[in-house]
Amino acid sequence: DAPKVTEADPTAQALGYKEDATKVDKAKWAKYAAGQDCGNCSFYQGKAGDAWAPCPMFGGKQVSGKGWCSAYNKKA
Ligand code: SF4
């Protein structure tokens, strides 16, 4: 499996990625809305319910299904 993104990763810092979407800095990321997470983002490369899956925003490293970053785009 691809390595997991950590919150200390420079890209994670730039995009405000958190492994737990509820811990997102809402003051900084006003676009965040409750209920959004990687698991329902169009970029998430996993199946529904996968705990971790690759994300192209992080060069294919794995992100947490319960995570979030500012590149979030709701899955259609
Ligand atoms: Fe999660 Fe989507 Fe951001 Fe990737 S782009 S880290 S799947 S919110």
Prediction ipTM score: 0.99
Per-domain boundaries in the chain: 10-64
Distances (CA, A) of 8 to 11, 18, 63, 76: 8, 10, 13, 30
Q: What is the pLDDT of residues 8-65, one digit of tens each?
A: 999 999 999 999 999 999 999 999 999 999 999 999 999 878 999 999 999 999 999 9
CB 46 near ligand 1, within 6 Å: no
Q: Which atom of ligand 1 is nearest to the CA of 70?
A: 3
Fold assignment, 10-64:
High-Potential Iron-Sulfur Protein; Chain A (4.10.490)
Q: Which atom of ligand 1 is nearest to the CA of 72?
A: 8
CB 63 within 8 A of CB 55: yes
Give the Å distance between the CA of 54 and the centre of ligand 1.
9
Spatial CB neighbours of 60, under 8 Å, sequence gap ≥ 6 = 2, 45, 54
CB 68 near ligand 1, within 6 Å: yes
Please give the pLDDT value at position 24.
Answer: 97
Please give the pLDDT value at position 67.
Answer: 98
Please give the pLDDT value at position 17.
Answer: 98
Please give the pLDDT value at position 47.
Answer: 86
